[in-house]
Amino acid sequence: MFLRTLVEAYGKHPVWTDGAPWYHEACLRLGLEHRRYRFGEWLFQAMERAIQMLKDRTESFDDHFPCMKKECILEHVWRWLNLFHLFSQPETLSIIHNIRGVMEMA
């Protein structure tokens, strides 16, 4: 379901995974090219580091801003992830840098 949502939002692209067997089947069903990175390769290290950073930041966010709603569907976490993604984009960082420069001049 997660991969299907990504395909609907962004189209079909190759999917890189660590080789867990369920990824290959999911990619086959969706008509996606499945590529594997292996333990010890530079891509494995880079991907695992990026995933761990995202997990750590998401957990930290939830620790500081836990949801108080009953039957929470983690909407606040999705909003934070979208904002985190937005502020990770070079264009957004450039805009923020320019705004800071203008504010410092005032």
Domain boundaries, position 8: 1-62
The pLDDT tens digits along the chain (106 residues) read 788 988 998 899 999 888 788 889 999 999 999 998 888 888 888 888 888 888 888 788 778 877 777 887 778 778 878 887 777 777 777 777 777 766 666 4
Cα distances (angstroms) measured from residue 58 to each of 49, 51, 63, 87 = 14, 11, 9, 15
Cα distances (angstroms) measured from residue 48 to each of 12, 37, 40 = 23, 11, 11
Question: In this structure, are 50 and 13 located in the same domain?
Answer: yes
Question: In this structure, are 55 and 97 located in the same domain?
Answer: no
Alpha-carbon distance of 8 to 26, in angstroms, equals 15
pTM more than 0.75: no
CA atoms within 13 A on the CB side of 86: 8
Question: In this structure, are 100 and 55 located in the same domain?
Answer: no
Question: In this structure, are 18 and 41 located in the same domain?
Answer: yes
Question: In this structure, are 40 and 26 located in the same domain?
Answer: yes
